[in-house]
Amino acid sequence: MSKNHFILFVALFFNCVNLFSQQTSDISKVMYVNTTSGLRGRAEPTVNSRVVTTLLHGQRIATTERSSTPVTIDGITDYWYKTFFWSKDTTWFDGDEMWLFGGYLSESLPIDAPVLLGKWHYSNDISSHEQSEGGDHYNFYADGSYRKDNPYDISHVGKWSLDGNIITIQFYDDYDWDSDKWGPSEFKIDRIQLTIENRNNINLIFQNGNVIKLARCNDPTVKN
C-alpha cells in the first residue's frame, strides 16, 4: 500500500468512527441535573458545540434520545442525552432541543436538592372535582421560576420561594396578546402551606382551606 493510500484509509476510518459515534437511539426517561455548578445543554452531543442554556442543580429533564456510544468527560464515562428545553415565560410550548452529558444527571432528585423542585401532578386519590380541572402540572424550577400548565396551555407563570413550610408564589395568570407578554403589570400572590409525605408526594394547603395532593411526575412523555 502506498503512503497516500494509507493516509486516505486512515482518514476514512476515523470519519466512519466519528459518524458511528454520533448515531443515536430513542430513550425516554426522567432525569435530574446532579451538579451544584450547573450543567450546560449543547446544540450537539459534543463539548465543542454551541451552549443552548445552563440548567441548575435539581432541574428535571425528560430525555428523548441517547448517543449510541459513551464518551469520557472530566474522568466520567457516560452517554449524551437529548432533551427539549421548554421556554418558561410564554403561553405556548416552544423551545430548543439540546444535549446533556449523562455523567452529571441522575434518575432521581439529588438528595441535597429541595424536595419541591420538579414537575408535579394531581395524585390519584384527589377528588374528582380537582381531577377534572384539566390535568394541571405545577412546575417549580431550580432558578426560582414557577409555571402551572396542562397539556394544552400555560395558565400561570411567575416565581416561587420557600420559607420553612410556606411557599410564596408570585404569578401572572393573564396573557396580553396585544403586547405579547404576561400581565397585568403586578403579580398575584399565593401563600401556600407545604407538607411533605416523602420525596415523591407532597400536599399544598391553600389559604381557603383547599388541599391538593401532588405526586412527582416521572412520565417522560410529559416534557420539562
Could you give the C-alpha distances from 188 to 117, 170, 182, in angstroms and in order?
21, 6, 12
Q: Which residues pair with 42 in a beta bridge?
A: 51, 99
C-alpha cell of residue 111? 438528595
**What is the 8-class DSSP label of residue 58?**
T
pLDDT bracket for residue 98 (50, 70, 90): very high
Q: Which pTM value belongs to this model?
A: 0.76
CA 13 from chain center: how many Å? 38
Residues in the chain: 224
Query: Of 114-118, 131-135, 148-152, where does mean pLDDT reach its minimum?
Result: 131-135
Q: Which residue has the higher pLDDT, 6 or 75?
A: 75
pLDDT at residue 149 in the model: 82
Domains of the chain: 3-106 (2.30.30.40), 118-216 (2.40.128.490)
pLDDT at residue 93 in the model: 46
pLDDT in tens, 141-162: 999 999 888 767 778 888 999 9
Alpha-helix runs per DSSP H in 109-148? 128-131
pLDDT at residue 96 in the model: 73
pLDDT at residue 129 in the model: 38
pLDDT at residue 170 in the model: 92
Burial class for 163, CB neighbours closer than 10 Å (0-12, 13-18, 19+): exposed
pLDDT in tens, 13-47: 444 444 444 556 678 899 999 999 999 999 999 99
Handedness of CA 115, 119, 123, 126 (dihedral sign): positive
Contact between 44 and 8 (Cβ < 8 Å): no
pLDDT at 84 over 90: no
> What's phi and psi for 108, nearest 5 deg?
-140, 160
